[in-house]
Chain A
């Protein structure tokens, strides 16, 4: 068990191995490890971010839906109100029209009554006149007794 030149040979071999490992083996392997670590970390971060975004989007969607519901109910209310208004309006119009028609009909009736009255008055006057003519026997002059006739006529009216 002696120390000899083998020692030197072994030291040279060792130095070469260490040099080679340092130069060509450690850096690429270690870098790829680090890179993969970074990739995984980035991926995890991205996943987390995505999940957060989903939550946010869900929240947002809920808000939008709520707003839409509110708006739609508002619209429905408005429409109902408008419909009611329309109905009221048409009711009013119909009432007015009806009244107008009623007034016109009444006026016409009045007019016709007046006409009938006038006609009747004329006829009665004529009848009275002819009756008087027959009684007096052509002694009455229409022109002379105009005053009396119109007096009688007025009493009839």
Chain B
């Protein structure tokens, strides 16, 4: 149906239309309203669900909501305890937030590609990209936040001098100081970039394939989109998991003395 609607623009037009965010503003001060809106709504959903569970939290027999929340909490806590051995009030809640939020972002990918933009167009919204993780701004926002935490904890735990020493003196000792610094900088900067691009790339590609499948005749679509969607259930969970685990690992490294 959507194919017909955009027939005049052709296949390329359809794809571009799907990948164009709803935006306002110019230049750097452009805001992707759809990304902001959906991620905020999903964040609200996450908060609402867990807040409900937390309010009713009892050490007795848990209800359905609490049970599910506790399952996630225990899952995250196991991951954190596996690698991080210090005391931190931040890391576990951070990991939980990342896992749930990223998972929900990615989950938007499983909605039929045309349904939400169609509803949007009925409401007069021309462009709508529903998966926040197909927006580099969203993934980078998260990875840069994590990066800031890495730097913050590195300095806090090791002290400014300790952190500087680590930057300058490892791995090759004082005689190769500039080289050490270069290596270290690349290593550190690679962390947020790889975090953001891994998530973005995976979901962007997945979304693109859904869009391409949507361009095929209707009788072929289910044959392809069904297995791809099932495969995607694995992908979206895996990507959320990877983001969480790497965050934990990076913060653990920031806490450790070398």
Q: A: which residues have CB within 8 A of B?
A: 1-11, 13-18, 20-22, 24-26, 28-33, 35-36, 39
Q: Is B137 an interface residue (CB 8 A)?
A: yes
Please give, as numbers and ranges, the residues of chain B lying within 8 Å of A20 by CB-CB distance: 47
Tell yes or no: B9 within 8 A of A by CB. no
Identify the interface centre among B30, B40, B93: most chain A CB within 10 Å of its CB. Answer: B93
Partner of B29, one of A4, A15, A29: A4
Tally inter-chain residue pairs, CB-CB below 8 A: 124
Among A3, A8, A29, A36, the one with the most B-chain Cβ atoms within 10 Å of its Cβ is A29
Interface residues of chain B: helix, strand, loop or mixed (majority): helix
Q: Report the nearest A residue to B146, measured CB to CB.
A: A14
The yes or no answer to B69 lying at the interface (CB within 8 A) is yes
Most buried by B among A1, A6, A14, A15: A6
- How far apart sit A37 and B200, CA to CA, in the bound complex (Å)? 39
The interface size of chain B toward A, counting residues with CB under 8 Å, comes to 48
Partner of A39, one of B31, B51, B54, B59: B59
Q: Give residues in B with beta carbon < 8 Å to A.
A: 25, 27-32, 35-36, 39-40, 43, 46-47, 50-51, 53-55, 57-60, 62, 66, 69-70, 73-74, 77, 89-90, 92-94, 96-97, 101, 132, 135-138, 140-142, 144-145
Are the C-beta atoms of A1 and B136 separated by less than 8 Å?
A: yes
Q: Judging by beta carbons under 8 Å apart, are B36 and A13 in contact?
A: yes
